[in-house]
Every structure is written in C-alpha cells, then in structure tokens.
Amino acid sequence: MPKVRDRWAIANWKMNLLPSQTAGYLERLRARLQETQVSVAVCPPYPHLPAATAAAAGSRIRIGAQNLSDRLQGAFTGEVSAAMLQDVGVSLVLVGHSERRRLFGEDDALVAAKMRVALEHGLCPVVCVGEGLQERKVGQTQLWLQHQLQPLWEVAQAFPQAPWLIAYEPIWAIGTGEAATPSIAQETIAFIRVQAEQHLGDIAATLSILYGGSVDPGNASPLALQPAIDGFLVGGASLNPEAFAAIAEALGAAEA
Ligand code: PEP
C-alpha cells in the first residue's frame, strides 16, 4: 500500500542551548540518523537558525522556527517575520504552542493568522492544539479541541495544496514526564482526524497528526505503534541528539 502520511520527528528546543552548540548538535544528530527514513526537523531559537540551516545543509534534516509574527514587516519591535525565516533557510514553523498560548496570550484567531502567513510564505506550519487537565477531567476534551481547530480548517481550505501538520499536545503532558497513554493519544488523535476529514475531505488524507508531551526514548515505541499517531513533537528529550534520534528510530521501526 502506498505511504500516504509522512511520519515526523520534530525537536522543539524551546529556550535552551546556545547558538554555539547548534552545529555540534546537528553533527551528532546527522551521524545517528543514517538508519531511519522518517522526516526529521529541528526547531531551535531564532538566533541559532543560521547556524542550524548551515549545519543541516545537504542532509534531510529540516530546520524550523518556534514562532513567527502574523505581521509582514514594519514597526513591530521584537517580532520575526515569515520572510525573514524563509531567507535564512527555515522550512517549518511551530504555531500556537501551548506555551505561546498560555504564557504569551496567543488566542485561536492569532494562531490561525500565523498559520495563514506561514502558508502564504511557503513555510510548513506545525500547529499545536491540546486541552488542559481541567478540560480532560470534566470530559470536555473534544469540545475544546473542536474550538481550537475550527479556525484552522478555514485557513487549510484556502491552501489545499500546501503541507501543514497538527501536533496534538495535551498541556498536562508537556514537560511533566507524564506522557499520555498510547490509548488516550490514539483516541484523541483519531478524533482530530475525523474532524479533519469532515472539514477538508480528501486533502485530509495527507495531513500528518503528531503527538507531543513527554515523549522520550522509553515511551516512544508503544506510542509510535498507534495507527493514528504520525509522529512526535519532542521538547525536553530532544535536547540530547542521541535521545532524539532514538525517538525517530522508534517511529521508523513502527512503520517497518
Ligand atoms: C513541547 O514543548 O512541544 C513538548 C512536547 O515538550 P516535552 O516533550 O518536554 O513534554
């Protein structure tokens, strides 16, 4: 059967490591990635990006940013535009990570606007959604996700040919060491896929949906075996290139 959805391992360094550590990290990651065929991306902080794109050149590792502005250019101090990211060789960008939503007040409308700008500039947005512990406890996970996803479908419909990814990241699993169980991740991502099919029809077939939240080399294999999970967005464990490579290998092995 032809492979329809790409499997992805994406590293989110958050605000960690130094620009001077970037080339060494990518060298170690390249050395370890020989054996796996899954798509791999690394998202360092902005100042690291030129070093990252240079170190990844000629490899199949793609470099992503962790955020972008919804504005195109001008008097927006501290912001970074899609065109700037493109100019330094970035091809992916995280959008709407829960830390951006929670700590920096990004709402669903802003997340959708950033997704649109990314797509307009040929960047692949990795749009993060996920419920908090309270929503899960009171049985409102699906409602919460529907709400977060609704504006994204409208943007995706306007760019039917452009690749983008969804990362399902329950907030209670991010950075806590308590990953979602394989069955919770499977069930929730399967729900997101049904929503995607309802809103996007055939183009949903190529949309990869990743899981994120305390993935590490120890729990990656059982999660990777779940049929709805197309890959991982990895925070803490991605800071070590060998650990991140082991997670990518687990994804590759589950596909074999
Ligand atoms: C993340 O920040 O996207 C993430 C999944 O973090 P962690 O793997 O550390 O939970």
Enclosing domain of residue 125? 8-255
Separation of alpha carbons 171 and 176, rounded Å: 9
- Tell how far the Cα of 214 is from the centroid of ligand 1, in angstroms: 6
What is the C-alpha to C-alpha distance for residues 29 and 38, in angstroms, rounded to an integer? 13
> H/E element holding 142?
helix 141-158
Residue nearest to atom 8 of ligand 1 (CA): 235
> Which amino acid residue places its CA nearest to atom 3 of ligand 1?
235
Is pLDDT above 90 for 34? no
Q: Is residue 189 in a domain?
A: yes
For residue 211, report the distance from its CA to the centre of ligand 1, in Å. 10
Residue 112 covered by a domain: yes
- Provide the number of structural domains found in the chain: 1
pLDDT score for 3: 56
- Please state the rounded mean pLDDT for residues 76-90: 98
Asked if residue 233 has its Cβ within 6 Å of ligand 1, the reply is: yes
- Lowest average pLDDT, out of 28-37, 138-147, 169-178, 187-196, goes to 28-37
Q: Quick check: is 255 catalytic?
A: no
User: What average pLDDT does the segment 94-99 reach?
Assistant: 98
Q: How high is the pLDDT of residue 255?
A: 78
Give pTM, 2 decimals: 0.97
The mean predicted confidence, pLDDT, of the chain is: 96
In a domain, 18, yes or no: yes
C-alpha 154 – ligand 1 centre gap (Å): 27
Which protein residue has the closest C-alpha to ligand 1 atom 6? 235
**Statement: residue 2 has pLDDT above 50:** no
Task: Summarize the confidence of residues 62-78 as an average pLDDT.
Answer: 98
Annotated catalytic residue, options 97, 99, 131, 249: 97
Distance 75 CA to ligand 1 centre (A): 32
Residue 3 is assigned to a structural domain of this protein: no
Q: Is 121 a catalytic residue?
A: no
Residue 57 pLDDT exceeds 50: yes
Does the beta carbon of 215 sit less than 6 angstroms from any atom of ligand 1?
A: yes
Instruction: Look up the CATH number of the domain holding residue 178.
Output: 3.20.20.70
Q: What mean pLDDT is predicted for residues 56-83?
A: 97
212 lines ligand 1 (CB under 6 A): yes
Examine residue 80 and state whether it is found in any structural domain, yes or no: yes
1 Cα: distance to centroid of ligand 1 (angstroms): 32
Neighbours of 227 (CB within 10 A): 10
Type and span of the H or E element at 153: helix 141-158
| Single-letter residue type at 214 | S
Where are the extended beta strands (E) located within the chain?
8-12, 39-43, 61-65, 92-95, 124-129, 165-168, 208-212, 231-234
Q: Is the CB–ligand 1 distance for residue 214 below 6 Å?
A: yes
Catalytic one among 131, 135, 169, 249?
A: 169
Flag whether pLDDT at 117 surpasses 60.
yes
Evaluate whether residue 185 is within a structural domain. yes
